[in-house]
């Protein structure tokens, strides 16, 4: 059902790349309108890449160190528009005067932002390829260079440890805190029998990591099914890959153009 990302990425010129990187620095933060546009784009990309379906969500912090974040009201990701985007505080309560409600699992976002000042964007998804690694003792390990961040560790959140028998949803601040604790300082956390949460220092990074985490899970499962010894990325390779200042910019540009063209 899923195809590996195509090799032929569109080239984003040096000027466009420099503009995007500069826009993500603390000195010159993106405007609110730009952030809202990014939230809409991210939702549509994740839907197009089949990382989310009717369920799942993505958020972005309003500014480095800020105690507020932008996320859509409760609507399917593929249907999100700029008018759907809301501002919530770290208690995951809407801004004054806002009458709409966001997702029931919005506490995932608020509680992670509260304890991870380095995180600027969060994705929650239910990609099927990730589920087996959350319900078995087989850990996700890096098998693909674009998924090298997996080598930093992807723990599993066992919701029963934080809340006993639940409906499996992180719909309270207490469960959000338990999930944030399980995530720790890692780039992603699997949720047993549920899905995953992926974080990034930008919305580009959180979205791309979500796509390539799913790719890694599929490829790793396929390699394991072949019954042969697997050659995983080693620690040195993971560190070298982490030195790339913009590993996913070209992918974001391609995916953004594709969803924009598809909307016409």
Eight-state DSSP code of residue 165: S
Residue 173 near residue 111, CB atoms below 8 Å: yes
What confidence score (pLDDT) does residue 16 get?
Answer: 45
What confidence score (pLDDT) does residue 6 get?
Answer: 39
What confidence score (pLDDT) does residue 29 get?
Answer: 77
Q: What pLDDT, in 10s, does the model give residues 134-163? A: 999 999 999 999 999 999 999 999 999 988
Q: What are phi and psi of 39, to 5 degrees?
A: -65, -45
Helix, strand, coil % over all residues of the chain, rounded to 5? 45, 15, 40
End-to-end Cα, the chain, rounded Å: 25
Distance CA 92, CA 3 (A): 35
What confidence score (pLDDT) does residue 28 get?
Answer: 67
What confidence score (pLDDT) does residue 237 get?
Answer: 98
Q: What pLDDT, in 10s, does the model give residues 160-178? A: 998 899 999 999 999 999 9
Residue 229 structure tokens? 């010894």
Q: Which residues pair with 89 in a beta bridge?
A: 68
* Ranges of the chain whose pLDDT falls below 70: 1-28, 264
Residue 87 near residue 70, CB atoms below 8 Å: yes
Q: Is 97 left (phi over 0), alpha (psi -120 to 50) or beta?
A: left
pTM (2 decimals)? 0.89
Residue 50 appears among annotated catalytic residues: no
Residue 25 near residue 88, CB atoms below 8 Å: no
Residue 206 near residue 198, CB atoms below 8 Å: yes
Cα torsion 179, 183, 185, 188: sign: negative
| Mode of pairing for the β-strands spanning 121-125 and 195-200 | antiparallel
Domains of the chain: 14-262 (3.40.225.10)
Pick the catalytic residue from 28, 98, 105, 235.
Answer: 105
């Amino acid at each position: 059902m899923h195809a590996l990302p195509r090799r032929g990425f569109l080239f984003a010129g040096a000027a466009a790349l420099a503009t995007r990187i500069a826009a993500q620095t603390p000195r010159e933060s993106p405007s609110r309108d730009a952030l809202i546009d990014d939230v809409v784009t991210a939702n549509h990309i994740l839907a197009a890449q089949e990382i989310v379906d009717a369920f799942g969500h993505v958020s972005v912090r309003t500014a480095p160190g800020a105690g507020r974040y932008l996320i859509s009201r409760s609507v399917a990701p593929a249907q999100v528009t700029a008018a759907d985007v809301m501002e919530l505080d770290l208690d995951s309560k809407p801004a004054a005067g806002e009458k709409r409600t966001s997702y029931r699992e919005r506490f995932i976002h608020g509680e992670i932002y509260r304890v991870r000042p380095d995180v600027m964007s969060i994705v929650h998804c239910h990609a099927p390829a990730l589920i087996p690694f959350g319900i078995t003792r087989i850990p996700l390990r890096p098998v693909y260079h674009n998924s090298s961040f997996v080598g930093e560790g992807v723990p599993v959140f066992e919701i029963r440890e934080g809340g006993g028998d639940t409906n499996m949803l992180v719909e309270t601040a207490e469960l959000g805190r338990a999930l944030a604790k399980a995530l720790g300082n890692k780039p992603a956390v699997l949720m047993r029998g549920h899905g995953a949460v992926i974080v990034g220092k930008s919305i580009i990074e959180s979205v791309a990591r979500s796509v390539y985490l799913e790719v890694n899970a599929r490829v790793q499962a396929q390699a394991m099914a072949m019954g042969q010894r697997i050659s995983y990325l080693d620690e040195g390779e993971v560190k070298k890959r982490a030195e790339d200042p913009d590993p996913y910019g070209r992918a974001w540009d391609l995916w953004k153009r594709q969803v924009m063209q598809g909307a016409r």
